[in-house]
Amino acid sequence: MKSFRFALLFLFPVLASSPLCAQDFGLSFSYFIPKNGEFSTPVSPFSFRGVGVSLTNNIGIETGVTLYRMSGMALKDLPFETDRSLLGNNFTLFVPVELVFSLAGQQVQLDIKGGAFGYAVFDQRLNRGNFDRAIRELEQWQVANASASFQSKPGFGFHGGAELTVYVTQNIGISLETNYLVGESAFPIKGSYTGGNSTLETKTFDYADAKMDFTGLEFSIGVIYSSGGGKQRPRKRR
């Protein structure tokens, strides 16, 4: 919960310094497709993105926060490779900070984004079925059963993408956004597994260098309501 409080303390001065009259309001949903993982969804309504300040007419800094319900994530830097998700369900608090370059017309606005992000994971679980399958393939055993303990630590990474907003009326727009994320966090895991073919044996393991792989594609769709129109549209807040 310390990471959660830190995120709120980080966002508060940004929110306080952003003039509300210079913002658009709307509703959007973000989804994450991780590498070697499973489709993940936001925990509505805890998603507040696109909050920031304008540095010039075309350049600004944005941040926000999204609480994801991750369905399955990958581990890397293990002594074996697998394309299955080794981590199960968790809650992930995701906080990006990005530089935004905007090109705005009468009805269309294109935002090109890039920056860094941090995240913290809560209620992490191990996908024991996929982990056992990976051990069987590693050892070339017919059966394997693992018992493991782990530490889930906060992580960070970098991202880049673009957002296209089309205003179907003077005040209402449809927003589509895509970001590619590359991040990781330390995830030391150790324990033992028992298995074999004709006879059973037990081995211990300690994967101290293992990491959660936070690589994947994030996309969002939303509806934006603007209090004003024209080429100088205010920066969106969702």
Q: How far apart are CA 39 and CA 71, in angstroms?
A: 6
Q: Is the pLDDT of residue 103 over 70?
A: yes
pLDDT score at 24:
59
- Bridge partners of 23, per DSSP, are 235
Secondary structure of residue 10 in the 3-state scheme: helix
Backbone φ and ψ of 70, nearest 5°: -80, 130
- Domains of the chain plus CATH, in order, are 2-126+152-187+209-232 (2.40.160.20)
Indicate the Cα dihedral angle 214, 111, 19, 221, nearest 10°: -60
Q: How far apart are CA 34 and CA 77, in angstroms?
A: 17
| Sequence-separated (6 or more) residues with CB below 8 Å from residue 20 | none
- Rounded to an integer, the average pLDDT of 18-40 is 72
Q: How far apart are CA 98 and CA 113, in angstroms?
A: 6
pLDDT digits (tens, 9 = 90+) for 110-166: 999 999 999 999 999 999 999 999 999 999 999 999 999 999 999 999 999 999 999
